[in-house]
Structure 1
Amino acid sequence: MAKPNVLIIGAGGVAQVAAHKVAQRADDFGEIHMANRTRAKADAIVQSIRDKGHAVAERIATHTLDGMDSAAVAALIRQTGARIVINVGSPFINMTVLQGCIDTGAAYIDTAIHEDPAKICEAAPWYANYEWKRREDCENSGVTAILGAGFDPGVVNAYARLAEDEYFDKIDEIDIVDINAGNHGRYFATNFDPEINFREFTGKVITWQGGKWQENAMFEVGREWDLPVVGKRTAYLSGHDEIHSLAARYPQADVRFWMGFGDHYINVFTVLKNLGLLSEHPVKTAEGLEVVPLKVVKAVLPDPASLAAGYTGKTCIGDLVKGSRDGKQGEVFIYNVADHEEAFAEVGSQGISYTAGVPPVAAAVLIARGDWDVKRMVNVEDLPARPFLELLGEMGLPTRIIDENGDRPL
């Protein structure tokens, strides 16, 4: 059977990792294509693959694409013969790229929930506002659509599913903890698109607790976590994509997301927010110029891709899952540790981009093999976790487990 052509949409830090990983796994695919609004950025990524000595770089074709135009997306899919689309562009293009896949029958993979540029923190569950409305269309068209196949969301969803499959018959709590103990050496920067990063934290913190949606303010609830490798770190209850699908699969459980922040980040963020500089709504200057404050802040901050060289330290991201089997209570911590310097040496990116960019390629490999080609829309926790996690281990993101038998590899 012919191997499927793959199309990568986007050319940021996560796309760079995804492209390198597709190049490394070229034997699993047919033709490889990259598309971005600015084609030169895709060309630069292909050059970085060439610089690593991958001969496959010579046959990676690049294209110009407006990802907000579903007809243009469908046309490019037809032109390239792509059967798998890895969408690692802005979350603003999710629905148009998804529609392009539905119109052409190509499989769809993304790494984050869709966002409307004009809205922040919509009604829960967030997936129900956009992607889940296309479930029937995907099933009727026989289209495999895997939502949120990054790390968080994505791998952490698979960790929860692994706990369900191999540890518990009833899950009571899922606490997802994301700690970046790295140092990029800049006064202030975000590890991925500043606009998307800030939008996560300017709205309400929404979690699923006690069988209902609960709201808190950002940085209202914090606690100290003692984690492998990175040690004791303070993390704050935050709203995040995976809560909104995990709550549907595990409605009896409390589902929370905790993200680590240092005092400096919190101070700068608070000042920017209080000054109105994180607003997504346009304002007019005294000279009559209309600007969006959030986009101005994005423009003056370092490009996240520029942080990779010289970034030191590690990340630790995992799920603390509590539950019971046959009435016996227990807990398990399933996690990964990634190294910023190792990520840069391998693919020229920092660790945050690495953890987000490897998983969608693993999902694409599983679709190409048929294991995850389910011909319908799913979130990662709806699929068997072990094949995904084992493949990720081969690709540079090994899973470790702390249970009653100690700390061990998957």
Structure 2
Amino acid sequence: MSKVLVIGAGGVSSVAVHKMAQQIADGSGPFSDILLASRTLEKCESIALSVKKRTDVDISVEQLDADDVPATVALIEKSGPDLVVNLALPYQDLPIMDACLATKTDYLDTANYEPRDEAKFEYKWQWDYHERFKEAGIMALLGSGFDPGVTSVFTCWLKKHHFDRIDTLDILDCNGGDHGQHFATNFNPEINIREITAPARHWEDGQWVETPALSHKQAFDFEEVGEKNMYLMYHEEIESLKTHIPEIRRIRFWMTFGDAYLTHLEVLQNVGMTSIEEIEYQGKKIVPLQFLKAVLPEPASLGETTKGKTNIGVIATGVKNGEQKTVYVKNICSHEAAFQETGNQGVSYTTGVPAMIGSALMLSNKWRGDGVFNMEQFDPDPFMDMLNAHGLPWKVEQLDAPLDF
């Protein structure tokens, strides 16, 4: 049995800790003890109370500034976890990885590192840790969320069971939920808005193709949600998938947004509120986007009011036994069901459950290696089995033809 240190106390962390505690309660998984740490101790304590109420499992809590490497090292040395699960902000990936290296402790996260002062999303910084983690005899698993994460596992599973070769891959992320707010984001507002307003990029014929943010739109009919407008975006799993499955000729990522959301976002951009450049206000330096985050609803607070479903999946076209085929594998998640089980909305649930699954596979040695790895570098089957068993069942269908866009 294994002890985990979970860093971060947002909605994703809440879901992951609840799901780990469920396995402790029924004795079905590798988890034995959970320590939850965050800059805001009150958030940790709130999650601990919910976990106790729902599972009757006690978890420990600590206050931690994850930007402070010596403090993280001290907490790891004091608590002795078998795995550090980083569910904090992407800015903190490298400091936490440094602490794991210093203590020779395995590491897992759900999103790739990005610098605070530039909206730049790439794996280079974390991939550069591979040799050091390998020499230390420890493992880092990157991107064990839904996208990235499950979408990469879906792709590997399709390659293993349905294709000899995948030629094109489209990742479709639809949130059909309604939280009743004029404008709010379903995960960290700062990260969400930086991601959406960055230029779109997709991989095609061996090179990156860059287009202006939100300039490519397609309508798509999502099962159990309905027709939604989705927009071409850049997402980090494109980089890892094109690296580890280089046969794929074209990889695109699409995400849905409602018209009202985009109208609010356009206004906020026009008045400078989405900028990450420091400005001076009343003698102090502030970042407009960080101020906007402070006045927007906390994503973890949206669970009770969010209704509807998410639908996230991948559509692959390729060749099997000499014949072309197109296959779609997806998960549909209910916001209401996610809230009833864990007290969190579906976007947090679809990321927190895979974080738990990746942790369980590492701790049980079903996914193992020395160095830094992405999800698609491991056997997809045990992960796919656990999705079905832990609240994110998936379905697969063969389409009549490739996408016509």
Q: Please indicate the TM-score interval, normalised by the length of the shorter structure.
A: over 0.9
Name the SS for the 2:123 alignment partner: helix
Q: Structure 1 stretches (4+) deviating beyond 3 angstroms?
A: none
Q: Distance in 2 between matches of 1:228 and 1:193?
A: 26
Q: Which amino acid aligns with 1:50?
A: K
Determine the structure 2 residue equivalent to 1:173. Answer: 168
Q: Distance in 1 between matches of 2:11 and 2:105?
A: 24
Q: Distance in 2 between matches of 1:260 and 1:404?
A: 21
Q: Please provide the CA RMSD for this pair.
A: 1.3
Determine the structure 1 residue equivalent to 2:129. Answer: 134
Distance 1:404 1:219, change over 3 A: closer
Q: Distance in 2 between matches of 1:391 and 1:74?
A: 31
Q: Percent identity?
A: 39
Which of the residues 309, 315, 322 maps onto 1:327?
322
- Report if the CA contact (8 A) 2:144-2:355 is conserved: yes
Matches within 5 A, 1:297-312: 297-312=292-307
Matches within 5 A, 1:148-167: 148-167=143-162
1:44-76 deviations in Å (ceiling 9; x for gaps): 100011222x2212xx11111111122222221
Q: Distance in 2 between matches of 1:295 and 1:404?
A: 43
1:209 positional shift? 1.2
Q: Distance in 2 between matches of 1:317 and 1:370?
A: 28
Determine the structure 2 residue equivalent to 1:408. Answer: none
Which of the residues 220, 227, 232 maps onto 2:222?
227
Q: Distance in 2 between matches of 1:121 and 1:377?
A: 20
Determine the structure 2 residue equivalent to 1:56. Answer: 57
1:404 positional shift? 6.3
Name the SS for the 1:280 alignment partner: coil
Q: Distance in 2 between matches of 1:403 and 1:70?
A: 48
1:373 positional shift? 2.4
Determine the structure 1 residue equivalent to 2:212. Answer: 217
Determine the structure 1 residue equivalent to 2:365. Answer: 370
Name the SS for the 1:316 alignment partner: strand
Q: Which amino acid aligns with 2:69?
A: S
Q: Distance in 2 between matches of 1:211 and 1:222?
A: 23
Q: Which TM-score applies when normalising by structure 1? A: 0.94
Q: Distance in 2 between matches of 1:82 and 1:288?
A: 43
Q: Distance in 2 between matches of 1:71 and 1:141?
A: 18
- Report if the CA contact (8 A) 1:110-1:149 is conserved: yes
- Report if the CA contact (8 A) 2:129-2:371 is conserved: no
Determine the structure 2 residue equivalent to 1:33. Answer: 35
Q: Distance in 1 between matches of 2:108 and 2:14?
A: 16
Unaligned stretches of 5+ residues in structure 2? 401-405
Q: Which amino acid aligns with 1:13?
A: G
Q: Which amino acid aligns with 1:274?
A: N
Q: Distance in 1 between matches of 2:148 and 2:80?
A: 28
Q: Distance in 2 between matches of 1:274 and 1:169?
A: 48
Q: Which amino acid aligns with 1:138?
A: F
Unaligned stretches of 5+ residues in structure 1? 406-410
Q: Does 1:182 pair with 2:180?
A: no
Determine the structure 2 residue equivalent to 1:118. Answer: 117
Aligned residues: 395
- Report if the CA contact (8 A) 2:328-2:399 is conserved: no
Determine the structure 2 residue equivalent to 1:236. Answer: 231
Moved more, 229-238 or 332-341: 229-238
1:174 positional shift? 0.8
Q: Which TM-score applies when normalising by structure 2? A: 0.95
Determine the structure 1 residue equivalent to 2:332. Answer: 337
